[in-house]
Structure 1
Amino acid sequence: MNQPYLLLTPGPLSTSAAVKEAMQVDLSTWDQDYLAITEDIRQQLVALAQAKLDTYTTVLLQGSGSYGVEAVLNTVLPKKEQQAYGCLMIAINGAYGKRMAEMADRLQIQHVDLEVPETEPITLEMVQAFFKKHCEITHFAMIHCETTTGILNPIETIFPWIKAQNVTTIVDAMSSFGGIPIDVPTLGIDFLISSANKCIQGVPGFSFVIANCRQLENCQNRSTSVSLDLYAQYISFKEHPGKWRFTSPTHTVLAFQEALHELALEGGIEARHCRYHQNQAALVAGMQSLGYETILPTDYQSPIITTFKMPSDSFDFQTFYNILKRRHFVIYPGKTTKVPSFRIGTIGNVDGTQIATLLETIKTVQQYL
């Protein structure tokens, strides 16, 4: 068998042999064993969010993380033609916040946007100042780890204040949940969205929403989509435990069950966060020794993915990418709009030894650039 690639990306990411092996079983979506697995996953995710099953639930949804985000906006927010009133504030400092705004436009959701430069964190002071200008806000959404740059926005200071304003809160924790501890009830988060192929270290196929039950139960008949109706999916799980409304990605679910088992064996989210942090610190130290600069300061850099400036005007990223790929390392192109850059992820089934090998490889191949 050929040597597998090491995916140094923000997801999909490198998974363990056991996660891959778990997918080698065919199960019916009506099978009692499969229904039990789905229910177990839902309950484990609530526990990882440090929440209780009497107040929070997990809704699984077929599709990528963006499907989960759009399902939440579509289900939770009233539309312009509906009688119930709602105005969504979106705090944006990267491409994924902008994607939320695009979704809101398509869904005909009234929204006001706080836009911050993509290399700066969104702060509580910015949010408070924006609130003073917009008394119509009823809902609030933002990205936790914005992988456009790898910036980590301080939800721990922002969300408790937002919740105190009697506003419904939504966080896209796509690239952070499972790799960074998040106490959902303490922070006052009503809807947290993530995906199977991120820090839990599963494979692509479904997203999930950890939701405040009381808030979700107020959303009946708001969805203008059949398949992206989060409330309907919740009712299906509630009335028929483990049963998705439509055909579910059974193999992905089995992989995710194994990934949750591996997370527990590692020591939980705190231990995984420590490994990711060590990976990222080693990567940055090594890259800086080779002459590469990060685009963000350490203060608000996440352990998820790091953006590096192109070292010179003549640096050809595609050549760099191709050489590394031939040596079984896959990195990411840059996504910043103002600074030429590239990105290297430090999550997934990756450890310090592999980061050290990557750095040695980069040192070796620089002569070809």
Structure 2
Amino acid sequence: MSDKTSAVAASPSGDPWLLTPGPLTTSVATKEAMLHDFGSRDKKFIEINRRVRSSLLSIINGQDDFVCVPLQGSGTFSVEAMLGTLVPQDGKLLILVNGAYGHRMAKICSYYGRAHDVMEYPEDQPVSISDLDARLNEDKAVTHVAVIHCETTSGVLNPIAGVAEVVEKHGRSLLIDSMSAFGALPVDASKIRYDAVAASSNKCLEGVPGMGFVLIRRTALEKSKGNAPSLVLDLYDQWVQMEKTDQWRFTPPTHCIVAFEQAIREYEAEGGVDGRGGRYASNCKILVDGMRALGFETLLPDHLQAPIIVTFHKPTDPKFDFQNFYDRLAERGYLIYPGKLTVADSFRVGCIGRMGNDDIRDALVVIKETLSEMGVENCAPAAA
């Protein structure tokens, strides 16, 4: 850990460090890519779009069996499009829930009138493979299963390989929301059987917000014509248009896509999943070790903690006030996240984005100084 940091820390572009699950701190080169304008039907932009789609398929080793369908909007747009397009009106979705994003899937299904059930677990626990096996044995009406790869409500990592094995055994279709993990944790389609995985530009691939994408098994997408209850979120129609013309149906987020291509170049140069995931894992360990040294306790044990965002119990010291803590860190150039749990008072600190080990160490120095300024002496949570 550094001995000192500047009074106000800043990323290389002069912006605060975003210790969040996304949007994230991005590289200067990624930001600079947005300084140019592109026509959505121009040949140069069409080539960029083609390269981005191909690169995303390479990340999952899915070039032979999968297609990439990008979509305007946040990651939730793509998750909603995935569910609406791939779960037919006479289908039934079983959603594995251990946080807010699983509940969001259920809400989408309610809006669309899609039959669905929920298997719910505490926010600090992974979903159960054995429970899923038993449920699929019992409920033959389930056609699709949905799971969150890394549930950022808590930071818990779900066992998607085991889930995939059970779903395949029962002959059902698996849909994965890998929004907060894609690019840092493997979803290799040659090793894990699933029909679709959804993610977005502004998470572990370190692009800017504005688009999501769904990587879909071609045979599953070909069967989905007419399923979508939405025009703009119809992934089948979007795919058909792109295959015919290499163009988006509606105005694409051109600046976001150009920046995304630059971000993907940097991702590949870092070593792909192994390189990016390795840096994040190192960031996470430094963060967790440093916070524990200050007296904080993590919500999750290390074996359940994904290297994306870490949930810490709020101290019971009466001088600790989260909003004061947050505001002081923000004034020093670090933005963290409030908690989103029902099981415990907490706050969250992200370890992803364009920052390295020394940047995390500097953040820990500022956190220590901030606690001292607030007069907080005991960072332990209430006894369980």
- TM-score, with length taken from structure 1: 0.96
- Superposed CA deviations along residues 134-165 of structure 1, whole A, max 9, x for unmatched, are 22111010100000000000101110221221
- Deviation of 1:342 after TM superposition, in Å, equals 0.2
Alignment correspondent of 2:77:
67
- C-alpha root-mean-square deviation of aligned residues, in Å? 1.2
Of 332, 338, 341, which residue of structure 2 is paired with 1:336?
341
Alignment correspondent of 2:126:
121
Of 36, 42, 49, which residue of structure 2 is paired with 1:38?
49
Query: Are 1:77 and 2:87 counterparts?
Result: yes
Of 171, 194, 209, which residue of structure 2 is paired with 1:189?
194
Distance 2:145 2:288 in 1: 33
Q: Is the 8 Å Cα contact of residues 13 and 198 (structure 1) preserved in structure 2?
A: yes
Of 269, 293, 297, which residue of structure 2 is paired with 1:293?
297
Q: Is the 8 Å Cα contact of residues 59 and 210 (structure 1) preserved in structure 2?
A: yes
Equivalent position amino acid for 1:63 in 2: G
Query: Are 1:58 and 2:72 counterparts?
Result: no
Distance 1:6 1:163 in 2: 41
Which stretches in structure 2 are left out of the alignment for 5+ residues?
1-9, 375-384
Distance 1:254 1:342 in 2: 34
Alignment correspondent of 2:203:
198
SS of the aligned residue for 1:171 comes to strand
Distance 2:193 2:221 in 1: 14
Which stretches in structure 1 are left out of the alignment for 5+ residues?
80-84
Distance 1:185 1:147 in 2: 26
- Deviation of 1:313 after TM superposition, in Å, equals 5.6
Query: Are 1:312 and 2:323 counterparts?
Result: no
Equivalent position amino acid for 1:266 in 2: E
Distance 2:142 2:191 in 1: 22
Distance 1:172 1:162 in 2: 15
Q: Is the 8 Å Cα contact of residues 3 and 328 (structure 1) preserved in structure 2?
A: no
Distance 1:127 1:161 in 2: 7
- Superposed CA deviations along residues 18-68 of structure 1, whole A, max 9, x for unmatched, are 00000001000000000010011101100101112x311100000000000
- TM-score, with length taken from structure 2: 0.92
**Counterparts of residues 228-307 of structure 1 (less than 5 Å):** 228-241=233-246, 243-307=247-311
Distance 2:59 2:285 in 1: 25
Equivalent position amino acid for 2:72 in 1: Q
Q: Is the 8 Å Cα contact of residues 278 and 352 (structure 1) preserved in structure 2?
A: yes
Q: Is the 8 Å Cα contact of residues 12 and 203 (structure 1) preserved in structure 2?
A: yes
Distance 1:269 1:76 in 2: 27
| Residue identity (%) | 41
Distance 1:238 1:342 in 2: 44
Q: Is the 8 Å Cα contact of residues 201 and 349 (structure 1) preserved in structure 2?
A: yes
Distance 1:246 1:196 in 2: 18
